[in-house]
Amino acid sequence: MFAFQMADIMPALPEIFLAGIALVLVLVAAYGGETPRSARRVTRIAMGGILITLALVVNGDPLASRAFGGMFSADSFAIYMKVLVLLGTFAALGMSLRSDGDSDINKPEYSLLVLLALVGMMLMISADNLMALYMGVELQSLPLYVVAAMRTNSLRSSEAGLKYFLLGALSSGMLLYGASLVYGVAGTTDFAGIAEAISGRDMPTVFIIGMVFMISGLAFKVSAAPFHMWTPDVYEGSPTLVTALFAIAPKVAAISLLLRLSYGAFGSIADQWQQVLIALSVGSMVIGALGAIMQTDIKRMMAYSSIAHMGYALAGLAAGTVAGVTGVMIYMTGYVFMGAGTFAIILLMRRDGAEATRITDLQGLSRTHPLLALGLLVMMFSMAGIPPLAGFFGKWYVFLAAVEAGLVPLAVIGVVMSVIGAFYYLRIIRLMYFEDTDSPLDSKIPMANRVVLGASLAVILLFFAGIAGLLAAADSAAVALIVLG
Partner 1 sequence: MIEALFFYLFAAVMLGAGLMVVVSRNPVFSVLFLILAFFNAAGLFVLIGAEFIAMLLVVVYVGAVAVLFLFVVMMLDINFAEMRAGFQKYLPIGLVVGGILVFELVAAMYGDAFSGATLPAASEISNTRALGNVLYTKYMYLFQVAGLILLVAMIGAISLTMRRRSGVRRQVIAEQNMRRREDSVEIVDVPVGASARTVATVPPGKRER
Residues within the interface to partner 1 (CB under 8 A):
1-4, 12, 19, 22-23, 26, 34, 67-69, 71-72, 107, 109, 112-113, 116, 119, 123, 131-132, 135-136, 138-139, 142-143, 145-146, 149-150, 152, 161, 183-187, 197, 204, 206
**Nearest CB to partner 1, comparing residues 205 and 436:** 205
Torsion of CA 376, 381, 384, 385, to 10 degrees: -140
CB of 135 to partner 1, least distance (A): 4
The whole-angstrom separation of Cα 481 and Cα 485 is 5
Helix residue ranges per DSSP H, 104-154:
108-126, 130-148
In whole angstroms, the minimum distance from the beta carbon of 55 to partner 1 comes to 22
Residue 73 pairs with which residues in a beta bridge? Answer: 66
Give the shortest CB-412-to-partner 1 separation in angstroms: 39
106: Cα separation from own chain's centroid: 23
CB-wise, 68 or 433, nearer to partner 1? Answer: 68
Minimum distance between the CB of residue 73 and partner 1, rounded to whole angstroms? 12
- In terms of Cβ atoms closer than 10 Å to its own Cβ (0-12, 13-18, 19+), residue 358 is middle
Amino acid at 395: K
Q: How far is the CB of 397 from partner 1 (least distance, A)?
A: 34
Q: For residue 67, list its beta bridge partners.
A: 72
| Secondary structure of residue 299 in the 3-state scheme | helix
Q: What three-state secondary structure class fits 347?
A: coil
When the beta carbons of 206 and 293 are compared against partner 1, the nearer one is 206
**For the packed helices 463-479 and 390-404, what is the interaxial angle rounded to 10 degrees?**
40
> By C-beta, is 152 or 360 nearer to partner 1?
152
List alpha helices for 95-227, DSSP H.
108-126, 130-148, 155-186, 191-198, 205-221
Residue number, 123 or 258, with CB nearest to partner 1: 123
In this complex, which beta carbon is closest to partner 1, that of residue 161 or of residue 324? 161
Burial of 322 per CB tally in 10 Å (0-12, 13-18, 19+): middle
Residues in the chain: 485
SS3 73: strand
Minimum distance from residue 230 beta carbon to partner 1 (Å): 18
| Residue with Cβ nearer partner 1 (101 or 334) | 101
34 or 61, CB closer to partner 1? 34
Q: How many CB atoms lie within 10 A of CB 51?
A: 12
Closest approach of Cβ 68 to partner 1, in Å?
4
* Residue 421 near residue 384 (C-beta atoms within 8 A): yes
Please give the helix or strand (H or E) that residue 416 lies within, else none. Answer: helix 408-434
CA distance 256 to 263: 10
- Residue closer to partner 1 by CB (options 208, 429) is 208
Taking the complex as a whole, the smallest distance from the CB of residue 120 to partner 1 amounts, in Å, to: 8
The rounded distance, in Å, linking the Cα atoms of 148 and 352 is 24
> What span, in angstroms and rounded, lies between the C-alpha atoms of 206 and 316?
27
Closest approach, Cβ 186 to partner 1, in A, equals 8
Phi, psi of 128 (to 5 degrees): -130, 30
Nearer to partner 1, 142 or 322 (CB): 142
| Least distance between partner 1 and beta carbon 296 (Å) | 30
